[in-house]
Amino acid sequence: MGKIIFLDIDGTLCNDVGVVPASAKQAIIQAYENGHRFYLCTGRSKAEISEEVLDLPISGIIGAGGGYCEVDGEVILHQVFDSNELKKLIGFLEEHRVEYYLESNQGLFASANLKSRLIQLTLGDAKEDSAEGQEKIAAINWFLNLLIDDPSLIDYEDVNKVSFVNHSIPYEVIEAEYDGDFYMLRSTVPAFGPDSGEIGIKGINKKTAIETLLKHIQRDKEDCLAFGDGNNDLVMFEAVGTGIAMGNAKDELKAAADEITLTHDEGGIAHTLAKLDYVKL
């Protein structure tokens, strides 16, 4: 029987510009053909997962940091915010001029100035109308195009995570206000900045979702591997038999890993799958 392999997306399956390296694509396809099964395990909500990723032979998705789970197209878990608590949280972020987007399976709903902030962060010192600037913006257009900026379309009963892009107040101020009520962690997207982060539902994380998924498919922890790069993957490693940290992973995750592989662009996923004899390179 093949192994169950969980894949984080940002910084693991995808590189820093959101692209899946060719080595990872080829190895995943070959390992799937050899009987192994892959599940995404990501902080992204389903609406935020690119077609490039979904076109891989993926058997299921854990999204929203554990708040959503589907297996072979069947939704087996979907946890959402209490709408009143969510509105209070949004009020706090807006009061402190923190940009954000609400994540749901219906889409990503952006705060008023989020798109312009993301463009500013992406451009850096480049001019928007320069060739360099246009190239930088083109690289994030896939994400900008996902953002819905019409607040009348938001269903506050169907939001499973909030991501915030913050350059106004220290992360610790938001954490002090909400960490007891929600599950909080710093953003795994470096471009968002060190004071940015994610807010999820308390008691829900990648570990709890993996445990739900494994019970559903009747497989054991020891049958599982997981690839990750961020500190939100620490709990994912607790839920599997073997945790594999990417070469570009945070030091804390490397310390907790059973194995450390190469970086995403160096072919880390393919390297380890070949080392385990799941594929032939």
Q: What is the pLDDT of residues 6-16, one digit of tens each?
A: 999 999 999 98
What average pLDDT does the structure give for the chain? 94
pLDDT at 142 over 90: no
pLDDT of residue 118: 95
Residue whose tokens read 């008023």: 112
Closest CA to 268 of 12, 42, 3: 12
Q: Where are the beta strands (DSSP E) in the chain?
A: 4-7, 37-41, 58-63, 68-71, 74-78, 99-104, 107-110, 147-148, 161-165, 182-186, 197-201, 224-228, 242-245, 259-260
Q: How many CA atoms lie within 13 A of 8 on its CB side?
A: 32
pLDDT at 120 over 80: yes
Q: How confident is the model at residue 215 (pLDDT cuts 50, 70, 90)?
A: very high
Specify the CATH number of the domain 83-201.
3.30.1240.10
Which residues are bridge partners to 147 per DSSP?
Answer: 108
pLDDT at 188 over 80: no
Every domain range in the chain assigned CATH 3.30.1240.10: 83-201
pTM of the predicted model as reported, rounded to 2 decimal places: 0.86
pLDDT of residue 179: 80
Report the CATH architecture of 4-79+204-275.
3-Layer(aba) Sandwich (3.40)
pLDDT at 161 over 80: yes
Every domain range in the chain assigned CATH 3.40.50.1000: 4-79+204-275
Q: How confident is the model at residue 174 (pLDDT cuts 50, 70, 90)?
A: very high
Q: Which of 147-161, 177-191, 231-245 has the lowest average pLDDT?
A: 177-191
Q: How confident is the model at residue 214 (pLDDT cuts 50, 70, 90)?
A: very high
Q: What is the pLDDT of residues 29-71, one digit of tens each?
A: 999 999 999 999 999 989 889 999 999 999 999 999 999 999 9
pLDDT of residue 281: 79
Q: How confident is the model at residue 255 (pLDDT cuts 50, 70, 90)?
A: very high
Q: How confident is the model at residue 80 (pLDDT cuts 50, 70, 90)?
A: very high
